[in-house]
Amino acid sequence: MKTLSELKQFYQAQLLADLKALEHKRRKVLRKRMYVNTVILCIVAAAVFVTINFRMHPHIIFISIVLSVILAVGAYRLIGKDYIAEFKILIIDRIVHFIDENLTYDRSGCIPKSTFVLSQIFKTKPNRYKGDDLVSGKIGQTKICFSELNAEYESRSGKNRSVRTVFKGLFFIGDFNKNFSCRTVVLPDTAEKLFGRIGQKLQSMNLVRDDLIKLDDPEFEKLFVVYGSDQVGARYVLSTSLMKRIVDFNNKTNRDIHLSFIGSMVFVAVSYKRNLFEPRIFQTLLDFEPVREYFEDLQLAVGIVDDLNLNTRIWTKK
């Protein structure tokens, strides 16, 4: 595991030069955006002027606002595209290799939707699905793969359209260190926190999930609810030590953690509110702070192998 001081050295020796060049590009992007903003303001102002002077339908103002917002979003994307791509190739890719030489980084790849659905962590099948920053490789004896994901479900009823986030954050897949054929899902426990025993009863009546598994680690039980297809199998996977490790990991990240164990693999979904591995637009790139954040986010994912002790291979799966 690389330390922060090693990162700082790497940052000063290797990254600063490229960051300076990118900083140039960032300023250019910002200037272009300001330009787009002024154009939009002019369009809307013109629409208002025309509506008032020529006594036209006020709808024109609304249409112009909507049109210009759509234009702006498109323009922003076009303007930022090269800058973001270059940032990822020059900076994120290098940080990934700094953490571990054997990892590969694909800035536009992501965990496929079929895999996301296969993990059975989220019961709603998303109809809007995108992601990026795919990292894959082998840490010790454990094959891993993770990316940023943004999965949403859009429901239309007549003219109304509402978009619900199914999952946004880091999605990790790893080779688990035991062979098993059952299915176990570990979810953050909201009901038990709020309603105690009654909450647990409600959880056991969940129709879309497997049977409720009540485990013997009280701290773990407070934080998580577990559904599984086999009472003994779930306990084989979730050993006493693994439960402790999951609790520690949860407390370390301080985020909503979801896990599932299927087909001798482990899936971990860590919810994030912010976007990961994106370059700053409005602040300078030259600080150490954002580099530290990228590093810590990547380290969190790679660290899951150690946190869950996946490289301990004392059973028949090697």
Partner 1 sequence: MWIAIIAAVVVIVIIVLLYNTLVGKKNQVINVFGTIDAMLKKRYDLLPKLISTVKTYMQHERALLEEITEMRAKAVSGRLSDDEKVDLDNKVTKALGGIMVAVENYPDLKANQNFLQLQSTMNEVEEQISAARRAYNAAVTDYNNAVEMFPTNIVASIISYKMKKVFEISEEQRQDIDTDKLFKA
Residue type (1 letter), 35: Y
Cβ proximity to partner 1: between 61 and 215 the closer is 215
Q: Is residue 311 a contact point for partner 1 (CB under 8 A)? A: no
- Give the span between the Cα atoms of 72 and 245, in whole angstroms: 46
What is the contact mask toward partner 1 in residues 162 to 181, using x (rule: CB under 8 A)?
----------------xx--
CB atoms within 10 A of CB 190: 12
Q: Which is nearer to partner 1, 28 or 244 (CB)?
A: 244
Q: Which is nearer to partner 1, 116 or 180 (CB)?
A: 180
Q: Which stretch binds partner 1 (CB under 8 A): 30-38, 126-134, 148-156, 231-239?
A: 231-239
By beta-carbon proximity to partner 1, the closer residue of 237 and 257 is 237
Residue of 6, 216, 248, 289 interacting with partner 1 (CB under 8 A): 216
HSE-CB of 182 using CA atoms within 13 angstroms: 17
Distance CA 67, CA 194 (A): 45
Q: Which stretch binds partner 1 (CB under 8 A): 65-73, 147-155, 214-222, 301-309?
A: 214-222
- 245 binds partner 1 per the rule CB under 8 A: no
Stretch that binds partner 1, among 19-27, 278-286, 290-298, 310-318 (CB under 8 A): 310-318
Using rule CB under 8 A, residue 199 touches partner 1:
no
> Could you tell me how many residues of this chain bind partner 1 (CB under 8 A)?
16
Q: How many residues does the structure list for the chain?
A: 318
Among 109, 137, 199, 233, interactor with partner 1 by CB under 8 A: 233
> Which range, of 10-18, 40-48, 110-118, 225-233, touches partner 1 by CB under 8 A?
225-233
Instruction: Name the residue nearer to partner 1 (CB basis): 259 or 270.
Output: 259
> How many Cβ atoms are within 10 Å of 157's Cβ, its own excluded?
7
Cβ 92 vs Cβ 277: under 8 Å: yes
Q: Which stretch binds partner 1 (CB under 8 A): 66-74, 115-123, 141-149, 210-218?
A: 210-218
Positions touching partner 1 (CB under 8 A) are 178-179, 213-216, 231-233, 235-236, 239, 314-316, 318
